[in-house]
Amino acid sequence: MTRLLLQSAVSGLLVGGLYGLVALGLALSFGVMKVLNVAHGELLMAGGYATFFAFTFWGLDPFLSLPLVLVGMFAFGVLLYQVAFRYLIRFETERRIKNSLLISFGLVLILQALATRFFTGDLRTITTSYSSEAFVISLLGTSIRVPWVRAGSLVLAVVAAFLLDWLLNRSGFGRAVRATAEDWTRAALTGIDVRRVYLIVFGISASLAGIAGAMIATGYNVSPTIGLTWTLKALIVIVLAGLGSMRGILVAGIILGLTEGLAAVWVGPFREVVALVVFLLVLIFRPQGLFGRRAYG
């Protein structure tokens, strides 16, 4: 029983890192732009397909293809912003959120339909020479297997969270982002190019979704319909963490993963119900989230 609990906890930790990675981009776009992009999962799906086809046709290792996916998804995010979201900048926050929901729901339908048309509805996954390999660690005298692919996903999530936190809190661009998130009209009056900030932020958000999609294609499956599942996970993580801390988003993702992993031991297929109960308790007793603070201040 001890071994089962420890193995479930480690598995939950690893998938929790992926939850955090998925949530980072969505938290960034919502926290700065007040745009709730429910098509974030479809951006993740696009990154997963890009990684899959780079591996299939070019033989490019998924981890080595990450720079290409990052740049490609940044460009795709910039395009989406220019086509669909840039018109929202003139609206007040409440109207911006409502309209972004409508626009992004439309994007969900469009991107799913395009993916089904061009890639079919088959499940795709990347199988590398190390996909089934794992290293063994000893915990409390028990041997626990840790898959290399999922461990790599966790490392990527940690690096992404700390780099994003540094960008927002230690760089000149980060100061512009935080000022824009606080009050975009005052930021514009001080000379900050708000449209440029929004453009870059949305591009970074899409890049993070693409990286998460690459990891999902490597350790899980990619299909045209995976977006909603991962978007919901990201929203739960954001509510658990609260806006304002990228490292907090990662920790909240790990908490969610651990909760699901340990719950699977006792309640099996109902593990997600336990995670939702935790989500509701946080929402009721600490609505600002576990790590929430004023927007990127």
Q: What secondary structure letter does DSSP report for 171?
A: S
Provide the pLDDT for residue 273.
84
Provide the pLDDT for residue 139.
77
108-119 pLDDT tens trace: 999 999 999 999
Look up residue 267 and give its two tokens: 């309640």
In a domain, 292, yes or no: no
Provide the pLDDT for residue 292.
67
In a domain, 92, yes or no: yes
In a domain, 153, yes or no: yes
Q: Which residues of the chain have pLDDT under 50?
A: 294-297
Full residue range of the structural domain in which residue 240 is found = 2-285
CATH number at residue 8: 1.10.3470
In a domain, 297, yes or no: no
Instruction: Give the C-alpha separation, 52 to 281, whole Å.
Output: 38
Q: What secondary structure letter does DSSP report for 124?
A: B
183-198 pLDDT tens trace: 888 999 999 999 999 9
What letter represents residue 269's amino acid? P
In a domain, 294, yes or no: no
In a domain, 290, yes or no: no
In a domain, 296, yes or no: no
| Of residues 81, 93, 113, 52, the one with CA closest to residue 207 | 81
